[in-house]
């Protein structure tokens, strides 16, 4: 881990993207929970994109609306990001 800083973040991003690419709705609970908890803008974006890919946009939109009120600017900006 110390030899390769950022490796864990990179792996998380790949997992989030893969879950969206697989497209199984069973991942929506995990992804929604991750969307609520993440403090990383890139992870937030990839989680929201994956939720859209698996057909859980409605649930994601509700969480993203909550995150737009987050006190941290980078969370608000990423919650409102449109790809």
Question: Over the stretch 35-65, which tens digit does the pLDDT of each residue have?
Answer: 999 999 999 999 999 999 999 988 888 899 9
Instruction: Summarize pLDDT for 15-39 with one digit per residue, the tens.
Output: 999 999 999 999 999 999 999 999 9
pLDDT at 75 over 70: yes
Q: What is the pLDDT of residue 53?
A: 93
CB proximity list for 42: less than 8 A, separation 6 or greater:
9, 13, 78
pTM of the model: 0.83
Question: CA 83, 19, 16 angle in degrees (round to 5)?
Answer: 60
How far apart are the C-alpha atoms of 28 and 16, rounded to whole Å? 11
82 pLDDT higher than 90: no
């Amino acid at each position: 881990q110390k030899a390769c800083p950022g490796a864990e973040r990179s792996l998380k991003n790949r997992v989030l993207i893969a879950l969206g690419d697989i497209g199984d709705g069973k991942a929506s609970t995990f992804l929604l929970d991750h969307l609520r908890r993440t403090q990383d803008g890139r992870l937030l974006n990839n989680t929201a994109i994956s939720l859209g890919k698996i057909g859980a946009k409605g649930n994601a939109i509700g969480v993203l609306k909550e995150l737009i009120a987050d006190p941290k600017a980078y969370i608000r900006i990423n919650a409102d990001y449109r790809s």
